[in-house]
Every structure is written in structure tokens, then in C-alpha cells.
Amino acid sequence: MNPFERTRLGSTEVEVTRLGLGLAPLGGLYRAVGAQQASGTLERAWELGFRYFDTAPLYGAGLSEQRAGAVLSGKPRAEFALSTKVGRILVPGPEQPRGGGRHRSEPAVDHNDEIWAEPVDLTPTWDFSAEGTRRSYAESLDRLGLDRADVLHIHDPDDHYADALAGALPALVALREEGRIGAVSVGMNQADMLADFVRTGHLDTVLLAGRYTLLDQSGLAELLPLCADRGVSVIAGGVYNSGLLADPKPGATYDYLPAPAELLDRALAIQDVCAKHGVPLRAAAVQFPLGHPAVASVVLGARSADEVTDAAEMFDHPIPGQLWRDLKDSGLLPEEVPTP
């Protein structure tokens, strides 16, 4: 499959490439990137043919959006799709200590500082109100230097479902009706609540992170069939489960925490099957989600030009059908899981 083939999201006019670029790493995820490296990463992506980019205010407390805008604001606007997110407002605050840790946090003030390596003087705070949603979007556009985003995701409303349903979702629907965005979405690391949002009838797409991968197909139980039935497109993120499926070894992370031994063993077993067919594990991990008809695009993060190049190569790497058969015969994939 051509990584840069375009497909529409739901019944909207928004077109994304089958392979999109996730911009969390450009906000300094785990390690500092810097403006120059971020720019080189985006320019390489553009050169290769990436035309879908996903960012968020949370990523580096605005750094990712700023760095995306520094490059993309100079590109022909009609040629690419961009998504960002709402649910957190950036407010002035002291620089937070940096270190290693979990991607999600639960308090009312959502510093998420443990995984962002570059100091900033802003602090993300939860806000799923309609007013906060519009403010978040306006501030994102300022950082991006763009006049619109094509897709807005409600970001991580796990502990704020009622607020997001009453505030953020109607605000996004209104923005779509006003022509200020092209598609309404919710982005989460779980499938069950995404299914609840899909049932409202207001979504065009969802961003499902880490729940439809070679290691976790929980999205298949309800969400993906529901999306296929409703004509809601799925964007698959977190296909490496934060690192384990990119390079399974002791110390690798799974969903932003050290991988449990049993999951490391499973990832190594999948890697062995891939190796017998001359296929890198990364290639199988990137291509796997597109075996389901509801999945429109896979978003993969990158922090350098080399990683962008690798992402495109992995998406385009030939995979024989027998590899998927062998994974099922080995019990490493359920028999009912659709494969490319």
C-alpha cells in the first residue's frame, strides 16, 4: 500500500495520507529535540510525501505546535491536513522538572512534565468546557500560524466524560458547522469510551492510541465494528505501544511504562515470526491496523529525518500473507483479527 495515498475521513472533505506523522516527539518527548532538528524532521516528511500531521497543545506545552507551524505555515495549505486537540489549556506557570515517567496524569493540573525534556514556562490544565474548547483552538492556531485545523480531537477525556459531552463536543460540532474545522474527533488510549462518543452520532473520526496493535486488539471488540457500521474513520496511533514493538528488549516501554515480562516475551515471539519472513517487526506493527476496513490512517511519531524515512520504508515494506497466517497459527494473533 502506498503510504501517501489519500483517503477521506468519514463523510467529510478532509483527506489524510494513509501514513501520518505524529508530532509528540517534536515537543521533546523523553529527549530534547530543538527547533532545528524539528524543522529538519518536518521538511524531510514533506519531501517524502507525508501530508497528514497530528499535534496537540499538550506536546511540550505548545512546543510541538510552534515547531509544526514554523514549517507547515509556509506550505500550500490545500495540500495537507493537520489535526490538533482540545481539553487542555496552557496557562503561565513555573518550569517543571523533567524526567522519565507515564504519559498520562490524573490531577486537575495536568503538568505531564515527567516525559517532556525541554523546559517551558507554561502548564497544561484540564478544560473541557465549550468556552475552554474555543479558547484552546484559537491559541493552537496562534502557535501554528494557521487559519484552521482540519480535524479537532477531544484529547484524553477519560476522567471528564460528562464535561466533554456537555461542553467540548457541542463546541466542536458548532465549529464544524461554522466551517472552521473539517472533522470532529475524540482521541484516547482506550476503546470503550470512544465507542460511547461514536454513539452520539456527532463524530467523523476517532484517534485510537495503542488499542489496535499487534499486542492489543481491544479496539476490535466493539469500537472498530461500530465505526465501520457508522461510517466513522479510525486513525490508529501508538502502533508501537510506546516502544516495545519498535525494539523489544529489556527496558523497553509499553504504554509509557516499563514493559511487563510477558509482553516483552510476546513481542520477541512476534519478532521471531517476522524475521523468518525477512520482515522487520516495525513494518508489521505499522501495517497491521490497516487490515481493518474502518482504519483510514496510521500515525507514527518521529523525532528526526532518519526516523521519518524509516517510517515510510516500514509502511512500504512487502509483507507476505503467510506471515499473518503464521502469527495466527502460533497463537500470537487471534484467528478472527483481520489482517492486511
pLDDT of the residue at 30? 87
CA pair distance 118, 120, nearest whole angstrom: 7
Residues serving a catalytic function are 59
- Cell readout for 332 is 500470537
SS3 168: helix
d(CA 283, CA 127): 37
Q: Residues with Cβ < 8 Å from 111, sequence gap 6 or more?
A: 96, 105, 123, 124
- Cα 182–chain centre separation: 18
Listed in sequence order, the residues at least 6 apart from 165 whose beta carbon sits closer than 8 Å to its beta carbon are: 197, 200
**Start-to-end C-alpha separation, the chain:** 9
What are the distances in angstroms from CA 65 to CA 15, 16, 117, 137, 156? 20, 18, 16, 11, 18
- Which residues share a beta bridge with 236? 208, 298
Helix (H) or strand (E) holding 70: helix 63-72
- Which pLDDT belongs to residue 163? 98
Q: What is the pLDDT at residue 113?
A: 53
Amino acid at 308: V
Helix 305-316 and helix 35-48, axial crossing angle in degrees, nearest 10: 30
Contact 14, 183 (CB under 8 A): yes
Q: How far apart are CA 72 and CA 50, in angstroms?
A: 12
Per-residue pLDDT, 94 = 58
Question: Is residue 316 packed enough to be buried (19+ CB in 10 Å), middle (13-18) or exposed (0-12)?
Answer: middle
With a cut of 50, which residues of the chain have pLDDT below it? 95-112
Closest CA to 137 of 123, 153, 125, 121: 153
Tell me the residue type at 96: Q
> Residue 23: its pLDDT value, please?
98
